Amino acid sequence: MGISIGTYLPPWGTERARVPGYDEDALTMAVEAGRLAIGEEVGITRVVFVSRELPLLEGGNSAPLLAGLRLGRDVEVVERIGGAPATLDALTSAAPGTLVIGVDAGSAAGAAAALVAGSNPTSQVARVQRSMPQRTRLANGQPGFNDDDPRMLREIGVRASIEAAGLPGKPLAVAGLGARDAASWSAPDAPALPTVGASSVLFAIAALTEAGRSGLVAASEQAALSAANVDVSTGAVRRHERPVQPPVKRRQTPGTGVRVSLAAYDRAFEAKVRWQAGKCTKCGTLAMPPRYHCLGCGVDDSWEYTPLPYTGTVYTTTTVHVPVPSLESPYTLAVVECDGVDVRVLMHVTDMPPGTVKIGGHGRLVLRRVAMRSGVPDYGYAFSPDMPDKDKRGGAQ
């Protein structure tokens, strides 16, 4: 297989544009799409993470990203701030064993990933770098200059970049543009794309793969443009795209939340983010989180990490309406009984409105941002109930 593509859309928003859930960010969506692209493949040596909404600009996002993707700590991670052209450039230059993930966590949210498992089915045709800073951001992260004249971007930006690129014909898809502008510059029957940023070009390649259409694909952002030939004959696509539902109205209480303890964060990381229990080396009793004192045989400090299943069943549940600082309410908590092991874990319920999950319901465990503590995303696993068969599109890993 040359390439494997995974796509993820949050379940919230409208038919026109999805929005991230209250517990989602670019990293959690990257994990959703990346797991779909990886499937059962092994031998991944490099991950390229492209987004304009990277959660941590200092300190890096590599450790939770690799943990969520279930990859080793020695895998190289490249974090790249950019849009659709940056993602396409990363894909065309990818060696076998490279996973490229593009994520958009703004008003049109989604994530897509492509794993180059064999020979790379893409080849660069053109790259144009021009300067037209239509939007800027200040040093404090707040929006700066913004000239929102779409005519200027369309006529000066895209037109000039395509003319400078000297493309041999109209691309099958132009990612990075709104639907109307994309249709103007694309060949007939161009696929409709749910995002316009870093993930959009991978959504385009996924749609072309499903349609069996190989050819020229372009990616644009303001005045930059990249184009590549894509051979979809060796591609496969897996999707996790729930039916859309309106966002839940939640309350946020002002005040200081629980401060982060870096020692506690580091101590809990393996269990919370790599989803591992402590297993007593004497009697085999499991504990989540790991315990110093074994409740099975009473021995102290004799345990090792062991992976837990990523599926389970709701044992009991409750919905919390009382707001507290750093946690939006209402939210649902569930005690989940992990499949095949004697472990029950308390966790948030995600992907469904609060109060709708049922005791006995089955689902999978997904990486989510459970809280923000002193500006640090606190990642852990949440329970995502299974979709009814009639609503399933693709599968989740």
User: Which of 340, 270, 334 is CA-nearest to residue 311?
Assistant: 340
What is the structure's pLDDT at 137? 75
Q: Confirm whether pTM is higher than 0.85.
A: yes
* % of residues, the chain, pLDDT over 90: 70
The superfamily (CATH) of domain 3-241 is Thiolase/Chalcone synthase (3.40.47.10)
Q: Considering the domain delimited by 310-397, tell me its CATH architecture.
A: Beta Barrel (2.40)
* Burial (CB count within 10 angstroms: exposed 0-12, middle 13-18, buried 19+), residue 334: buried
What is the structure's pLDDT at 394? 53
Gap between the Cα atoms of 354 and 328, Å rounded: 12
Domain range list for the chain: 3-241, 310-397
With beta carbons less than 8 A apart as the criterion, state whether 93 and 46 touch.
Answer: no
Which whole-number Å values give the CA distances from 220 to 171, 258, 316, in the listed order?
Answer: 12, 42, 49
The yes-or-no verdict on residue 42 having pLDDT over 80 is yes
- For residue range 275-293, list pLDDT tens digits in order: 999 999 999 999 998 999 9
- For residue range 356-369, list pLDDT tens digits in order: 999 999 999 999 99
Gap between the Cα atoms of 13 and 246, Å rounded: 5
